[in-house]
Amino acid sequence: MAKTNYAKTYNKEYYEEYSCGAGYENNPLWKYMFDNIAENIINMFYPKNVLDMGCAFGYLVQSLREKGVEAYGIDVSEYAISKADESIKPYLKNMSALENLPEDFPKHYDLVISIEMIEHLYEDDGLKVIDKMVSYADKVLISSTDDDFDDVTHFNVQKKEYWVEKFARKGFLRNLEKDVTFISYNTYLFEKAKSMDIYDIINHYEKALKIEKRTYSKPRQFINNLFNTKLIKFKPLAKKILKILHIK
C-alpha cells in the first residue's frame, strides 16, 4: 500500500479540525501552553539554541525567541508554516524532517524538541528521523502518544520502551532525573551517554530509580490507601489522581 503524502495530509482542513474542532490558529490556549513549555525549557536546560522538529505554526519557536533563545523550526506542512507570525518566518522552514537542514540553519543545537510529531511518521521514516535528531543535538526531548490509535494520521503509535530502545541503539539514554512532563505525560528526554558500558548503564538507571522512588513514594502510598478503602465510590477519583500524578 502506498504511503500517505505527509505534505498533502497536513493542510488547511487538517488544522481547522485540529483538537476536535477547537482550531489551531489564533487560539489563546496554544499561546498560553507554548509560553509555559518555553519557560520550562529555559529553566531546565538554559539553551542558547533549539530546533523544533514538527513546529506547525511555530508557536514554540516564537515563545522561545521572545524569551531570548535562538529557536528554529521545521515542518512538512506548507499551510502551517504560512500561518506563522511574520517575525519568526525567517527561522522556519517548510520541509520534511527526513531532509537535511537548510544551509542557513545551525547544524548543532543545545536541544532538539519534537512534540507529538514522530507518531505521524511511518515506522521506517521515524527511525530515519531519530538518526537526524541525534546528529543535531546531545539532548532530544520528544513527546508521543502511546495510546491514541483513533487519529488516522497516527501511523506509528508506540509505548515508552520502544523509544527508549531505539534511542539507546544510537547511544542515547533516557534521563529519568528531570521531570519533563510539563509537555505531556508521554514526554521523554534522551541524552547522549558518556558510556554505553552495561555496568555504567545499570548505575545510571539505579540512581534515577532512587530519585523516582523518593519523589513518588508519598503520593503513591496515598493512592494505595485510597484504593484499599471500602469506599468504592472514590475509585474513579483515585484513577484520575493517579493520572495527574503520573503514577501507573
Tell me how many degrees the CA angle 99-57-37 measures, rounded to the nearest 5: 100
Q: How many CB atoms lie within 10 A of CB 191?
A: 18
- Nearest CA to 12 out of 55, 56, 53 is that of 56
Q: Count how many residues are written for the chain.
A: 248
- Residues of the chain with pLDDT > 90: what percent? 60
The pLDDT of residue 64:
98
Question: In the CATH hierarchy, which top-level class contains the domain 6-193?
Answer: alpha beta
Q: What share of the chain is helix, strand, coil (3-state, %, to 5)?
A: 45, 15, 40
**Residue 96, Ramachandran bin (φ over 0: left; ψ between -120 and 50: alpha; else beta):** beta
- pLDDT grade, residue 244 (50/70/90)? low
Q: Where are the domains of the chain?
A: 6-193, 199-244
Q: What is the pLDDT of residues 14-63, one digit of tens each?
A: 887 765 455 677 678 888 899 999 999 999 999 999 999 999 999 999 99
- 137 forms beta bridges with 109
The answer to whether 157 touches 148, Cβ cutoff 8 Å, is: yes
CA pair distance 214, 141, nearest whole angstrom = 24
